Amino acid sequence: MSSPALTGLVMGFIVQKLPSLKRTMDQPVLGVKQHRPRIAYIAGYALLVVTLVLTPIFCGVMFGDLGACFIIMFVLGGPLVIPFVNHCHAFYIQQTVSGVYWRNWRWKTRYMPYESISEVLLQSNGKNGYLRVRSRNIKRVRLSFDPWQFDASILFAMVLFRVEHKEWPQDLTPERVEELVAGFGSYEKMFGRIERLCYEKKLKLD
């Protein structure tokens, strides 16, 4: 049985190597649980069927041992495609007034108050970029996601406010959050500012 660390590494590698997927931005996100775009599910299940069903059948017809081909492909291909399909169903992010909830590939829900954010990094992955956020409250755990597959406008607004004013916004209400987001312009503009602040370099907020 593979270790959780190895499974997480393989799953993360597959997620980053998939073709670029983008969701439609500028939709309401406050309090909304955002899952991966539907096309990611389609791609995941298509890969699962090809790897664990069609390929073994083809190999079985070619070499005459259908059972062995299914076993071999399950052993070789299963650890690659099953974690990704699981991640599609498990992972979500939810931005609230006070912080971000997310559920990881192990179906464990975490919570990160905005004011606990200590580090932000936009890492290059050859596509949309990969956002990594750390909290001083949660050691050795970070929130990592593609900021174009998930609308991170509220998180972006909180970080940009912290950078501009040297403090986190206080006394937030849903209306105040919406005002903050609108004040920083379109999603593309916010992403551009975040990119300049922490692309391939860590933005320290402690």
pLDDT tens digits, one per residue of 141-182 = 899 999 988 999 999 999 999 999 999 999 999 999 999 999
Asked if residue 15 has pLDDT above 60, the reply is no
For residues 118-130, give the mean pLDDT.
86
Asked if residue 195 has pLDDT above 60, the reply is yes
Of 18-22, 74-78, 126-130, 189-193, the least confident: 18-22
pTM attached to this predicted model: 0.80
Q: Which residue has the higher pLDDT, 162 or 77?
A: 162
End-to-end CA distance of the chain: 39
87 touches 109 (CB < 8 A): no
